[in-house]
Amino acid sequence: MTMPPLATRSRSAVWRRQFLLQGCWNYEGMQNVGFAYAILPALRDFYANRPEEALKAVKRHLEFFNTQPAMGALILGASVRLEERVAAGEADPRAIGTFKVGLMGSLGAIGDSFFWGALRPMASVAGALLALLHPLLGIAALLLIYNGVHLTLRRRGFAAGMEGPEGAVGWLKRAALNVRTDDRKLLAAILAGAYAGVFAGRFLVQGGGAPHALASLLLAAAAVHLFAVLFRKAVSPSEILSFLLFVGVLILWR
């Protein structure tokens, strides 16, 4: 079956709409409404004169969907290409669901680790350090470091997805996000060490000689280690802050 190609305007619309993937995030279908909304311009093109099939296609994309939002671009692009093949009668509609379900979990894990576990901490701590010089410098660093990578990966992921599922998987291999994750985690650790050093040097050392300074450094390192151990034991930052608030109230009361 011959069918009209995806118009440039529709492709741009799908690209723009991916930024609202979580616009109706809910506990049941999670990003399902956002995904259906994002792919809708492409479906309107592919099923222009076939309302029944368009309806079936929209229902397909209202199924449960959840992944890391930036990595959603890759799945979205590949789903557009798969829909094109389904509309042309070259693929089984069930292949789309299988592809989405198969990829959303693993891409979610890769994306969570890269974006939330490495890139965001790195950008945050770089921003916090530079904000000590000037607040606007810190904000600029945070936004540029994060979005430089974030928007590039979204753009490249979407383009790779538009080459089809094979292109998407090939791009994922070439992108080597696991290696990039480790690099950024290490950089985040270096910057966080610098951040801890600056604050410990500022707040803990109020006078005294070298022994006092050394004791302050050891105390600060022990505090960081203790907090890290508590985080590993699933104690949340809020619980630690609440405890400190309680101690503060006791100090005031005394």
Footprint on residues 56-75 left by other proteins (CB under 8 A): 58-59, 62, 66, 69-70
Map the footprint of other proteins across residues 176-215, applying CB under 8 A. 182, 185-186, 188-205, 213
For residue 79, CA distances in Å to 41, 111, 174 come to 13, 18, 20
Map the footprint of other proteins across residues 26-55, applying CB under 8 A. 26-30, 32-34, 36-37, 40, 51, 54-55
Q: Which two tokens stand for residue 219?
A: 């105390």
Q: What is the smallest separation between the CB atom of 12 and other proteins, expressed in angstroms? A: 16
25 binds other proteins (CB under 8 A): yes
Q: What b/e sequence results for 227-246 when a residue is b if at least 16 CB atoms lie within 10 Å of its CB, and e otherwise?
A: eeeeeeeeeeeeeeeeeeee
Q: What is the smallest separation between the CB atom of 103 and other proteins, expressed in angstroms? A: 16
Between vectors from CA 82 to CA 80 and to CA 83, what angle results, nearest 5°?
65
155 binds other proteins (CB under 8 A): no
**Piece in contact with other proteins (CB under 8 A), picked from 2-10, 91-99, 126-134, 170-178:** 126-134
The CA distance from 218 to 214, in Å, is 6
> What amino acid is encoded at 65 in this protein?
F
Nearer to other proteins (CB atom), residue 77 or residue 138: 138
For residue 110, CA distances in Å to 7, 106, 117 come to 31, 6, 10
Map the footprint of other proteins across residues 102-121, applying CB under 8 A. 108, 112, 116-118, 120-121
